[in-house]
Structure 1
Amino acid sequence: MTAPRSTRQREVIVRVIEDAPGPLSVPELLARAQQDLPGLGVATVYRTLKLLQEQGVVHPVHLDGESRFERAGRGHHHHFACRTCARVFDLHQCPVALPKGTVYPGGFVVEAHEVTLYGLCPECAARPPA
């Protein structure tokens, strides 16, 4: 099976995801992509994300019941979610020392882990309290 042809919409969506500091929600992705493609619709974004997931280009990150999307193949990393501005950032340093194969108390054998830290991003933390 040959890969579907590339479209301008797909190129912009992939670029927006690659340039983001962390995984994006569909509304965030749509707003950023519309800066280059004002006529881009949400249905096209959803169709493109489905295709890009099938191709292994992007994968979903589920945070607080919401799916966000980031480029696949980024290696082991975690996320920081700002409670004020709602942006999500990649953390490149793992705050948990639980390598694969670790036996956790009670006999649980660790295969992988995901961590999301919540708080204030540097920009929101620098603002004076309201």
Structure 2
Amino acid sequence: MERNTKQRTAIQQCIADAGRPLSPQEILEHAQGVVPGIGMATIYRNIKAMLEAGDITTVSLPGGGDRYEVSGHGHHHHFHCRSCDRVYEVHACPGDMQKLTPEGFVLESHELTLYGVCSHCR
């Protein structure tokens, strides 16, 4: 059983409060506001433990580093702002992707990432 340290609590709260996937650097910046002196090694160690516990999931973007969000959101997609590099959750889905799948293939899952400029950067 993992210890629930003030660092772990700060990281968990940061990810939960964000409401969007965060990069390790974003997690570090937010957590330092709660626990001054927290370092990147602590961030990565806690991310690993939280992934293993199933508390968070990885959001992998093509050509970008991994982001992390709270588990249990169900099926959703993401919007990646090319200006500020933030990633946001999109809770809509275009629907049946089987019609795009080549004949005879069986679709098991899909991921969709939208790219553009967020409302804050616009």
* Counterpart position of 2:64: 65
**Distance apart, 1:65 and its partner CA:** 3.3
Q: Equivalents in 1 of 2:116, 2:104: separation in Å?
A: 32
User: Whole-Å Cα distance in 1 between the matches of residues 43 and 91 of structure 2?
Assistant: 27
Counterpart of 2:117 in structure 1 is 120
Kindly name which structure, 1 or 2, has the bigger radius of gyration based on alpha carbons: 1
Deviation at 1:121, TM superposition (A): 0.4
Structure with the largest fraction of strand: 1
For residues 21 and 73 of structure 1, the distance between their equivalents in structure 2, rounded to whole angstroms, comes to 13
Q: How many residues align?
A: 120
Match runs of 1:12-51 below 5 Å: 12-51=10-49
Q: In the alignment, which residue of structure 2 is the partner of 1:128?
A: none
Match of 2:105 in 1: 108
Distance in 1 separating the partners of 2:4 and 2:96: 40
Tell me the distance in 2 between the aligned counterparts of 1:93 and 1:68: 20
- CA distance in 2 between counterparts of 1:13 and 1:116 reads 25
Identity of aligned residues (%): 47
How far apart are residue 106 of structure 1 and its match?
Answer: 2.7
**SS of the residue aligned with 2:89?**
strand
Structure 1: distance between partners of 2:47 and 2:82: 26
TM-score (norm 2): 0.91
The amino acid of 2:120's aligned partner reads E
SS in 2 for 1:47: helix
Q: Which runs of 5+ in 1 are unaligned?
A: 126-130
After superposition, the CA RMSD in angstroms is 1.3
Paired position in structure 1 for 2:78: 79
TM-score, L = length of structure 1: 0.86
Runs of 4+ in 1 over 3 A off after TM superposition: none
SS of equivalent residue, structure 1 residue 31 = helix
